[in-house]
A and B are shown apart, each in its own frame.
Chain A
Amino acid sequence: MPILIPIIALGAIALLCAVLLTLSSVFFGVKEDERIGMVRDCLPGANCGACGFSGCDGYAKALCDGTTDNPSLCIPGGDGVAREIGEIMGLTAGDVVEKVAYVACNGSCAPEERKYRYEGIKTCRAANMNYSGDRFCTFACLGYGDCIRVCPRDAITINEERCIAEIDPKKCIGCGLCAKECPNNIIHLINDTSTVVVKCSSHDRGAQVRKVCLNGCIGCGKCEKTCPHGAIKVENNLATIDYEKCTGCGKCHDVCPVKCIHFGNFICGAHFE
Chain B
Amino acid sequence: MDFKVLIYILLTGVFVNNYVLQRFLGICPFLGVSKKFDQASGMGIAVIFVMLCATAVTYPIQKYALEPLGLGYLQTIVFILVIAALVQFVEIILKRFIPALYKSLGVYLPLITTNCAVLGVAINNITDGFNFVQSMFSSLGVGLGFLLAMVLFAGVRSRIENCPSPKSIQGLPITLIAASIVSMAFLGFSGVIGNLLGVS
Binary interface profile of B, 79-95, with partner A (CB < 8 Å = 1, else 0)? 00110010011001101
* Most A CB within 10 A of own CB, among B65, B70, B95, B96: B96
Which residue in B71, B81, B88 is a CB contact (below 8 Å) of A5?
B71
Size of A's binding interface in residues, CB under 8 A: 15
Once the chains bind, are B93 and A13 in contact (CB under 8 Å)? no
The smallest beta-carbon distance between B153 and chain A, in angstroms, is: 30
Task: Tell me the chain A residues, 2-48 only, with Cβ under 8 Å from chain B.
Answer: 5-6, 9-10, 13-14, 17-18, 20-21, 24-25, 28-30
The smallest beta-carbon distance between A30 and chain B, in angstroms, is: 5
Given A9-B65, A9-B69, A9-B74, the answer on whether A21 and B85 have CB atoms closer than 8 Å is: yes
Q: Please give, as numbers and ranges, the residues of chain A lying within 8 Å of B93 by CB-CB distance.
A: 24, 28
Once the chains bind, are A29 and B96 in contact (CB under 8 Å)? yes
Alpha-carbon distance A28/B93, docked complex (angstroms): 6
Given A6-B74, A24-B89, the answer on whether A14 and B81 have CB atoms closer than 8 Å is: yes
Q: Please give, as numbers and ranges, the residues of chain B lying within 8 Å of A25 by CB-CB distance.
A: 92
The smallest beta-carbon distance between A11 and chain B, in angstroms, is: 11
Alpha-carbon distance A6/B72, docked complex (angstroms): 10
Given A10-B78, A13-B81, the answer on whether A5 and B69 have CB atoms closer than 8 Å is: yes
Q: Please give, as numbers and ranges, the residues of chain B lying within 8 Å of A20 by CB-CB distance.
A: 85, 89
The smallest beta-carbon distance between B112 and chain A, in angstroms, is: 16
The smallest beta-carbon distance between B69 and chain A, in angstroms, is: 6
* Most A CB within 10 A of own CB, among B66, B71, B89, B97: B89
Alpha-carbon distance A18/B86, docked complex (angstroms): 10
Alpha-carbon distance A6/B71, docked complex (angstroms): 7
Q: Please give, as numbers and ranges, the residues of chain A lying within 8 Å of B95 by CB-CB distance.
A: 28, 30
Binary interface profile of A, 51-74, with partner B (CB < 8 Å = 1, else 0)? 000000000000000000000000
Question: In which size bucket is the chain B interface?
Answer: 10 to 19
Once the chains bind, are B78 and A21 in contact (CB under 8 Å)? no
Once the chains bind, are B78 and A13 in contact (CB under 8 Å)? yes
Closest to A2 in B: B70
- Is B77 on the interface with A (CB-CB < 8 A)? yes
The smallest beta-carbon distance between A20 and chain B, in angstroms, is: 6
Binary interface profile of B, 55-83, with partner A (CB < 8 Å = 1, else 0)? 00000010001100111001001100110
Q: Please give, as numbers and ranges, the residues of chain A lying within 8 Å of B71 by CB-CB distance.
A: 5-6, 9
Which residue in B70, B74, B96 is a CB contact (below 8 Å) of A30?
B96
Q: Please give, as numbers and ranges, the residues of chain B lying within 8 Å of A29 by CB-CB distance.
A: 92, 96
Once the chains bind, are B89 and A21 in contact (CB under 8 Å)? yes
Closest to A12 in B: B65
Q: Please give, as numbers and ranges, the residues of chain B lying within 8 Å of A6 by CB-CB distance.
A: 69, 71, 74
The smallest beta-carbon distance between A9 and chain B, in angstroms, is: 6
Alpha-carbon distance A29/B96, docked complex (angstroms): 7
Closest to B70 in A: A5
Closest to B96 in A: A28
Q: Please give, as numbers and ranges, the residues of chain A lying within 8 Å of B66 by CB-CB distance.
A: 9
Closest to A26 in B: B92
Closest to A24 in B: B92
Once the chains bind, are B92 and A17 in contact (CB under 8 Å)? no
Q: Please give, as numbers and ranges, the residues of chain B lying within 8 Å of A5 by CB-CB distance.
A: 69-71
Alpha-carbon distance A233/B71, docked complex (angstroms): 91
Closest to A18 in B: B85
Alpha-carbon distance A20/B88, docked complex (angstroms): 10
The smallest beta-carbon distance between B113 and chain A, in angstroms, is: 12
Q: Please give, as numbers and ranges, the residues of chain B lying within 8 Å of A13 by CB-CB distance.
A: 61, 65, 78, 81-82
The smallest beta-carbon distance between A48 and chain B, in angstroms, is: 25
Alpha-carbon distance A255/B82, docked complex (angstroms): 82
Alpha-carbon distance A14/B82, docked complex (angstroms): 8
23 A-B contacts (beta carbon < 8 Å): A5-B69, A5-B70, A6-B74, A9-B65, A9-B69, A9-B71, A10-B74, A10-B78, A10-B81, A13-B61, A17-B82, A17-B85, A20-B89, A21-B85, A21-B89, A21-B92, A24-B92, A24-B93, A25-B92, A28-B96, A28-B97, A30-B95, A30-B96
Nearest 10 CB-CB pairings of A with B:
A17-B85, A28-B96, A24-B92, A28-B92, A30-B95, A6-B71, A24-B89, A21-B88, A30-B96, A6-B74
9 further A-B pairs in the complex, CB-CB below 8 A; given A6-B71, A9-B74, A28-B95 = A9-B65, A10-B81, A13-B82, A18-B85, A21-B92, A28-B93, A28-B96, A28-B97, A29-B92
